Structure 1
């Protein structure tokens, strides 16, 4: 991989600065810069971008920044700084859009279930805006529905993972025969198999809900937008051009 490329270096620095600031200022940073559900009072338009620089733990930022360095560096060398940054932020925004779309579905499903059970929808939104909820909702529509409903509204998304998944897809397109290894499966796997395997895992956990605390659909969104961009660039012969 060699020397850091310009865009990757600056992305690493910004992410590290945000992480240090989060350790110093904690909750306030999460309120301002995480990606909240649009109907949540904490939502701000800039969070669509700023959430990409927020991370929840040291291991979270460590894995993301290592992946950015390992897979982003060769792509930036090939594409040039501007094309790499366009791809990176496009994948990250795509991840935010799919994540928010899934949350909208879960939130609307839960709200509609409560309304159908006789609860006033405006009162539900007022209670949520005050940072509370009614335990009686679980008796009306079930604990799982309420859990998904509250999670969609109250749990913000953080991390560069969506953009990183786009980078992984681009790497698999470009260096399909490169051999990679999963930490829990130390066997060399070609990139063209490794990356789809990761995405299939996110699809499984996302649809089954068996692994919480991870924005699986943000990963899928980043991978999907990365795939669409790579497919379009390859089809239109843009993939061989550098943007300086």
Structure 2
């Protein structure tokens, strides 16, 4: 259902992206447990007091609105065919991040390329966002969505060297991971219906990861990063009585357990952020960084400066003996000559 789009530099010039129109990720029937959760446990997961849907899950609808508006704008601008436009809006691109544009780790999660890509992620956001915001509360859900989205982008940054990546599916996988942790911890409270929900989310996660591993153009590293970080945050955020604590932790009591796991999660995120900051060394030297700069300079008519950047890229490509990069550089040289 949820997808994070990723396309390599070699595919950027293609006129059509077939994976944007592929229905392979569409899961027609929601797991039974998700339906049971929404219909039979409103008093357990809803906010106190009456209110409309927007009041009960305001951050879900807020994130929905941001993704929808930006998605529609990019569709109107035909951004899926314009790599530079996606980059201007804040798409994930590792060479630019290593040069200091770390804000792309956040901005990429609100961008989508194409109607199908946007539709699937909006559906996933509504389904899992409303459930998670009721399970964890508004504030925790806000941080769950943002931090799992950043973690998804960070994972993509670490393992996806030169692809451009966009989409909210990393955060959606994060919400699925948080639900897995929640129902593992509170399995006694929800009984069989909770187990049905747990199994349904696990199966749905596995199916989507399998699709991501077999279909070209899906940033599965972002999905994995979102899912794992969501499980960690779900474990930290889940409310529980002492009776519901894992047996090995019951001697700590609820208060001490919350204190320990909260600081543990802060440490994990600090380590992840530091790893992301210092991981840029793996991209040096990276010819695509120079190619990207050259493209911008060509568009601005700064041809001599662009030629210098392409010279640097050529030296690295010759050292790497990468024919694909060399062909990319020669193509840009032809733009300068013309």
Please classify the TM superposition score into its range, dividing by the shorter chain length: 0.5 to 0.7
SS in 2 for 1:38: helix
CA deviations over 1:199-233 (Å, ceiling 9, x no partner): 44465566xx5321101111010000011112234
CA-atom RMSD in angstroms: 2.9
Query: Match of 2:87?
Result: 31
Gaps of 5+ in 1: 104-151, 180-188, 239-244
Task: Describe how 1:1-244 pairs up with structure 2 within 5 A.
Answer: 3-4=53-54, 5-25=57-77, 26=79, 27=82, 28-32=84-88, 33-39=90-96, 44-103=101-160, 152-153=161-162, 155-174=163-182, 190-201=196-207, 210-234=214-238, 236-237=257-258
SS in 1 for 2:150: helix
Q: Which has the higher helix share?
A: 2
Residue 39 of structure 1 deviates from its aligned partner by 4.9
Query: Match of 1:120?
Result: none
Distance 1:22 1:6, change over 3 A: same
Residue 67 of structure 1 deviates from its aligned partner by 1.6
CA distance in 2, matches of 1:174, 1:40: 33
CA distance in 2, matches of 1:100, 1:87: 20
CA distance in 1, matches of 2:104, 2:113: 15
Equivalenced residues, count: 178
Gaps of 5+ in 2: 1-37, 39-51, 185-191, 239-244, 246-256, 260-338
Residue 190 of structure 1 deviates from its aligned partner by 3.0
* Deviation beyond 6 Å, 4+ runs, structure 1: 40-43
Is the 2:149–2:168 contact (alpha carbons within 8 Å) kept by the matching residues of 1? yes
CA distance in 1, matches of 2:133, 2:97: 37
Query: Match of 2:289?
Result: none
CA deviations over 1:141-195 (Å, ceiling 9, x no partner): xxxxxxxxxxx41x3111000000011122233357559xxxxxxxxx9332233
Is the 1:35–1:43 contact (alpha carbons within 8 Å) kept by the matching residues of 2? no
SS in 2 for 1:217: helix
CA distance in 1, matches of 2:100, 2:114: 22
CA distance in 1, matches of 2:99, 2:114: 21
Which protein, 1 or 2, shows the higher relative CO under an 8 Å CA cutoff with sep ≥ 6?
1
SS in 1 for 2:53: coil
CA distance in 2, matches of 1:6, 1:15: 14
SS in 2 for 1:157: strand
